Amino acid sequence: MALGRLGVGLLLGGALTAVLSSCAAPAAKRPGHASSASAASSSASSTAPSSSSSAGAAPATPTGGTSTSPAGGTGTGSPGTAGTGGVSGGTQSGFTDPAIQGPALKIPLAVIVDNSPAARPQAGLDQAEVVWEVLAEGFITRFLALFTHASATIGPVRSTRIYFDQLDHAYGLPLAHAGGSVDGLDWIGGYHLQNLDAIYGAGAYFYRSSSRKMPDNLYTSSAALERAAEDRGFKAPSPRLPEAGPLGPGAESTSSVTLSYYDDPQLYVYVVGWRWQGDAWQRTVNGQDQIATDGRPVRAGTVLVLVVPTAPDPNDHGNPLTLYMLWSKGGSAWVLRSGMRTRGTWSMGADGLPIVREHGAIVPAGSGPYWYELVPTSGDVSFN
């Protein structure tokens, strides 16, 4: 989809308005939204959809309400001082990055992490085992980060979206976030997610950093979230990781990949890169190496690039820029590992996670950490 500067300006302006409005008080509880610790595990008023259901059609259950944004708990501190190939199934170990070799968590966790310009650099992305980058609105992306090892600081934490709910439903992990879009909040109950919402019921496990401005200053830690999960009786399996295997004959040598979400120097630029460094892929943002607040580089052992069609979310009247991921459509995909790439196509698996295949065979991933880059069809993917 091609947009002129006026159209993009309106989108970005709307996104900015949504960010500014996030400082307002949260909306009241709505049907279907698990607003307390017990509600997350109780039966919702609607039937939870299948984890492999398409997000292309509007869900048939909870509607109404207004979008909310981070309010969160109280506290002070600095975020920097504390402290596949879309292949479904299987678990594996042997990470290439020593940053995620901390103590293993008893309860793996999923956290929504902000990626607006004011949110960078983030805390904890260098210590996540799996990260999904997905458009939130206005060409600004957001992360779903999965943690299986300790991370002293995670954030900034932001609001969820329906596609993050869908992915978390597939993984079965406690989901830490701060509010959400209309559908994002409604389907926490619809999917019976283990809910850790900084606005509704779990604010004591989050804090605001005095070093940044709202809403980009809400942080937590794996220890705090694990405590919150234990207090609520939550349990979680180890997240399913891509199946490992040897490179196929179709793999091509690759030194870098560039993912252009939007690139207009006079208006807005967001270009992600991954550069092979001999043992891992180094992530870049607008040409600069991405470094977390603890000073460590953000790296991956396997990068999974999926081109995913999107559509406006018709239920989110509070923010018309929120999106659906059209999971049922499938599309082009690349699996990057060991300085090589394999092209294939992705489709949604029965377990609610995408699967990448080449000529009908699953494309095996390499070692972790694993990053899923969901690029819209309006974006651009190029290799060197």
| Tens-place pLDDT, residues 153-183 | 999 999 999 999 999 999 999 999 999 998 8
Q: Cα dihedral angle (265, 325, 88, 101), rounded to 10 degrees? A: 50
Whether the pLDDT of residue 67 is over 70: the answer is no
User: Which of 33-42, 102-111, 231-240, 311-320 bottoms out in mean pLDDT, i.e. has the lowest?
Assistant: 33-42
What pLDDT is attached to residue 318? 60
CA 44 to chain centre: 24
Domain assignment of residue 240, yes or no: no
Report which of 99, 163, 161, 88 is spatially closest to residue 125, judged by C-alpha positions.
Answer: 99
Has residue 329 got a pLDDT over 90? yes
Of the residues 184, 201, 231, the one at which a domain ends: 231
In the listed set 231, 261, 295, which residue is the last one of a domain according to the structure? Answer: 231
15 in the same domain as 163: yes
pLDDT level of residue 68 (50, 70, 90 thresholds): very low
The confidence score (pLDDT) of residue 137 equals: 79
Residue 22 and residue 148 in one domain: yes
Same domain, yes or no: 183 and 281: no
Quick one: 60 and 131 in the same domain?
Answer: yes
pLDDT confidence bin for 45, thresholds 50/70/90:
very low
9 pLDDT band (50/70/90 cuts)?
very low
Give domain status of residue 151, yes or no: yes
Q: Is 239 a member of any domain?
A: no
Q: Mean pLDDT for the chain?
A: 79
pLDDT at 366 over 50: yes
Q: Are 213 and 82 contained in the same domain?
A: yes
Do both 274 and 169 map to the same domain? no
Domain span at residue 297 reads 252-383
The reply to whether 238 falls in a domain is no
Overall average pLDDT of the 91-96 stretch: 42
Q: What is the domain-level CATH number for residue 126?
A: 3.50.90
User: Could you tell me the sign of the dihedral formed by the alpha carbons of 90, 95, 97, 102, in that order?
Assistant: positive
> Which pLDDT does position 320 carry in this prediction?
62
Lowest-confidence pick of 53-62, 139-148, 321-330: 53-62
Task: Indicate if the pLDDT at residue 69 is higher than 70.
Answer: no
Per-residue confidence at 94, pLDDT binned at 50, 70, 90? very low
Shared domain check, 196 and 113: yes
Contact between 374 and 333 (Cβ < 8 Å)? no
Dihedral of CA atoms 132, 146, 325, 345 in degrees, nearest 10, equals 60
Q: Do 143 and 211 belong to one domain?
A: yes
Q: Does the structure show a pLDDT above 70 at 6?
A: no
The winner for highest mean pLDDT among 61-75, 126-140, 332-346 is 332-346
Specify the pLDDT at position 319.
67
Contacts of 353 (CB under 8 A, 6+ apart): 86, 88, 167, 170, 171, 240
Q: How many domains does the chain have?
A: 2
Domain CATH for 279: 3.50.90.10
Residue 176: per-residue pLDDT: 98
Percent share of the chain, pLDDT over 70: 73
Domain-embedded: residue 134: yes
Residue scoring higher pLDDT (97 or 245): 245
Cβ atoms of 242 and 112 within 8 Å: the answer is no
Q: Name the residue among 281, 297, 288, 277 with its Cα closest to residue 365.
A: 281
- Which tokens go with 230? 């234990």
- Peptide bond just before 156 cis, omega within 30 deg: yes
Q: Higher pLDDT residue, 11 or 323?
A: 323
For 104, 105, 205, 332, 373, the CA distances from 229, given in Å and listed in that order, are: 15, 11, 10, 37, 28
Residues in contact with 323: Cβ distance below 8 Å, sequence separation at least 6, in sequence order: 135, 136, 137, 161, 163, 310, 311, 312, 313
Domain annotation covers residue 300: yes
% of the chain surpassing 90 pLDDT? 64
User: Does residue 103 sit within a domain?
Assistant: yes
Same domain, yes or no: 31 and 141: yes
Give residue 264's pLDDT. 87
Same domain for 297 and 225, yes or no, is no
Same domain as 274, residue 217: no
pLDDT at 43 over 80: no
- The pLDDT value recorded for residue 119 is 97
Rounded mean pLDDT, 337-353: 96
Q: What is the pLDDT of residue 230?
A: 98
The band of 315, judged by pLDDT with boundaries at 50, 70 and 90, is confident
178 with 30, same domain? Answer: yes
The pLDDT of 257-284, averaged and rounded, is 94
Evaluate whether residue 175 is within a structural domain.
Answer: yes
